[in-house]
Amino acid sequence: MSAIKSYDHPTNANQFNQDQDRTHWHDSSLWFIREKRDRMSKSLPEWETLRSCASQIKAHTVSKLADYLEEFEKNATARGVQVHWAKDAEEHNQIVLEILRKHQAKRIVKSKSMLTEECHLNPWLEKHGIEVVDTDLGERIVQLRQEPPSHIVMPAIHLKKEDVSNTFHEHLQTEKGNNDPNYLTESARQHLRQKFCQADVGITGVNFAIAETGGFVVCTNEGNADLGVSLPKVHIACMGIEKLIPKADHLSIFLRLLARSATGQPITTYSSHFHGPVEGGELHIVLVDNGRSKIMNSDDYRNSLKCIRCGACMNTCPVYRRSGGHSYAATVPGPIGSILNPLRDAKHHKTLPFACTLCGSCSDVCPVKINLHEQLLTLRTEVKNQKQLPMSKTLPMRIASYVFQRPKLYAWLGGIGKFFLRTMPRFLIYNPLNPWGRHREMPEAPPESFRQQYAQRAKKKSDDR
């Protein structure tokens, strides 16, 4: 796992920010993608219409999810697909393991799937003596480093080519110090090709499953999902139940939005459609709930199930760009992760709704119009209601509220505060307990508040009369 172990976002972010050059490099890499996304989205006059359509389709699907899931199961089964249902991560992993055991599979190739990350499938399978190789290049890099992905679309965006070179030198015996991206990519290709050829079973995620047809689509830029499921006879596709869309007709809307939002490409290089097993083979789909139906029943957070995992909210988030994906200590980081993770486990992820300035950029960039920053604000109250806010945060607010309900007390305390700010020696104001003053000057305290000046002005006016 990553070097960062704490669940506390400020602590992890502070650690990330110690290396300011790297922080800036990370910020610029992601901003580059955000700008590409802007150019691509602005090249489509119908962009905002696409967003509205996608948002409405997803809202509708979530409101009738049970019906659409049944329709999907019926149609997929009719195509010879074996459909499995998992209520949580444990059941999901168990189902996958049973299928693998049935086929005495020992070597698995897996294309990128955030759901299997969420369920921690890899360590579970490895524990049972099965080799799982992630075939997406970025995923493979972080897998070799025994790190979790730091971004849902670009899992190794936190790494420089030098880091990759060192990793490959250690694990794939590449030339030490050779940082040439072509050389490194070719080495990974050769290594992965071997794994593809040896694989007994291919596992993929699902980007969109279509209720009407019982088929599903997997989007990759490297073609690794195709290759991973073309050679073995068994394909297991793992999907969260929210990945459904009603009709094949809707697909184009999402495919146009997904890649533009994710990386600024017009469409992913491969959009692979699966409609049943290969001849003599098996196709399994595992439909996973893992807390999703709970979110579906909540008016405040239901919208978050519209997410198509494009990662645009991460790329645009000024906090994510400057704190790195690992600082969130969660499978899905960034704005959407800061909603999904605390909803599942508020105790561990209580700092995430606060790792946000509420700038609202995520809500405007989201291709399915999730009101991300509003949900993050609401979630803060949820964290407090679950008694996960420390007294050091709640008590000052209670005191401030008491004072603000009493204008005279407020004015009096304001005067005292300003007096001390003006007269106290610098070392008392800029002490280690004052995080504002570590890198910033405090505002200069004026001798009078506005209300005092206003009262004097009003008095002078009436005297003049």
Partner 1 sequence: MRVALFVPCYIDQLYPRVAMATLDLLEQLGVDVEFPAAQTCCGQPMLNSGCDTDALPLAERFVEIFSGYDAIVCPSGSCVSMVKNHYDHLLHENANYDTLRTQIFELCEFLVDVLKIDSLPVKFPYKVGLHSSCHGLRELRLASDSELNAPEFNKPKQLLALLDGVEFAELKRKDECCGFGGTFAVSEEAVSCTMGRDRIADHLQAGTQVLTAGDMSCLMHLAGLIKREKQPIRVMHIAEILAGYEVPQ
Q: Which of residues 48-67 bind partner 1 (CB under 8 A)?
A: 48
Binding segment toward partner 1, per CB under 8 A, in 112-120, 156-164, 242-250, 453-461: 453-461
Work out whether 440 is an interface residue with partner 1 (CB under 8 A).
yes
Determine which residue in the list 61, 116, 363, 375 makes contact with partner 1, applying CB under 8 A. 363
377 belongs to the binding site for partner 1 (CB under 8 A): yes
Which position among 454, 456, 459, 460 is part of the footprint of partner 1 (CB under 8 A)?
454
Binding flag, residue 356, partner 1 (CB under 8 A): yes
Q: Where are the alpha helices (DSSP H) in 43-180?
A: 47-63, 65-78, 89-102, 114-118, 121-127, 137-144, 161-172
Q: Give the DSSP letter of residue 174.
A: P
Residue 390 corresponds to which tokens in the numbers above?
A: 């420390």
> Rounded to 5 degrees, what are φ and ψ at 124?
-65, -45
Which residue bears the tokens 């991973």? Answer: 228
Chosen residue from 404, 412, 419, 420 binding partner 1 by CB under 8 A: 404
Q: Which stretch binds partner 1 (CB under 8 A): 123-131, 195-203, 239-247, 387-395?
A: 387-395
Q: CB nearer to partner 1: give 44 or 59.
A: 44
Options 172, 231, 389, 429; binder of partner 1; rule CB under 8 A? 389
Q: Which of 113, 303, 316, 375 binds partner 1 (CB under 8 A)?
A: 316
**Terminal C-alpha separation, the chain:** 76
Instruction: Say which DSSP state 438 is in.
Output: G
The binder of partner 1 chosen from 2, 41, 122, 263 (CB under 8 A): 41
Minimum CB separation of residue 318 from partner 1 in Å reads: 5
Q: What's the rounded Cα separation, in Å, for the pair 139 and 216? A: 22
Q: Among all chains, which residue has been given the structure tokens 């992913």?
A: 268
Among 38, 131, 163, 212, binds partner 1 (CB under 8 A): 38
Using CB under 8 A as the binding rule, whether residue 258 contacts partner 1 is answered as no
**In angstroms, how far apart are the furthest CA atoms of the chain?**
100
* 349 interacts with partner 1 by CB under 8 A: no
- Binding partner 1 by CB under 8 A: which of 103, 294, 451, 459? 451
Give 214 or 324: the residue with its C-beta nearer to partner 1: 324
Can you read off the two tokens belonging to residue 137?
């290049």
In angstroms, the CA 295 to CA 299 distance is 8
Site stretch for partner 1 (CB under 8 A), options 96-104, 120-128, 248-256, 355-363: 355-363
Stretch that binds partner 1, among 70-78, 148-156, 221-229, 378-386 (CB under 8 A): 378-386
Strand ordering across the sheet containing 215-220? 244-245, 208-210, 215-220, 270-274
Can you read off the two tokens belonging to residue 327? 């600082």
Pairwise CA distance, residues 326 & 312, whole Å: 17
Task: Quote the least distance from Cβ 463 to partner 1, whole Å.
Answer: 18
The C-alpha atoms of residue 176 and residue 14 are separated, in whole angstroms, by: 31
Minimum CB separation of residue 357 from partner 1 in Å reads: 3
45's CB contacts (< 8 A; 6+ apart) are none
Q: Interface with partner 1 includes 266 (CB under 8 A)? A: no
Structure tokens at 54: 């996608």
By CB under 8 A, is residue 10 in contact with partner 1?
yes
**Enclosing H/E stretch for 38:** helix 20-42
CA distance to 73, 77, 106, 281, per residue, from 82 (Å): 9, 6, 21, 11
Within 10 angstroms of residue 436's Cβ, the number of other Cβ atoms is: 11
> Rounded to the nearest whole angstrom, what is the least distance from the CB of residue 18 to partner 1 in the complex?
8
Within 292-311, the residues that bind partner 1 by CB under 8 A are none
91 binds partner 1, rule: CB under 8 A: no
239 binds partner 1 (CB under 8 A): no
Of 79-87, 133-141, 267-275, 382-390, the window that binds partner 1 (rule: CB under 8 A) is 382-390
Q: Which of 397, 424, 431, 460 binds partner 1 (CB under 8 A)?
A: 397
With CB under 8 A, what is the number of residues at the site for partner 1?
A: 75
Q: Is 398 in the site for partner 1 (CB under 8 A)?
A: yes
Q: Does 424 bind partner 1 (CB under 8 A)?
A: no
407 binds partner 1 (CB under 8 A): yes
Element spanning 284, H or E: strand 282-288
Q: Collapsing DSSP states into helix, strand and coil, what is residue 155?
A: coil
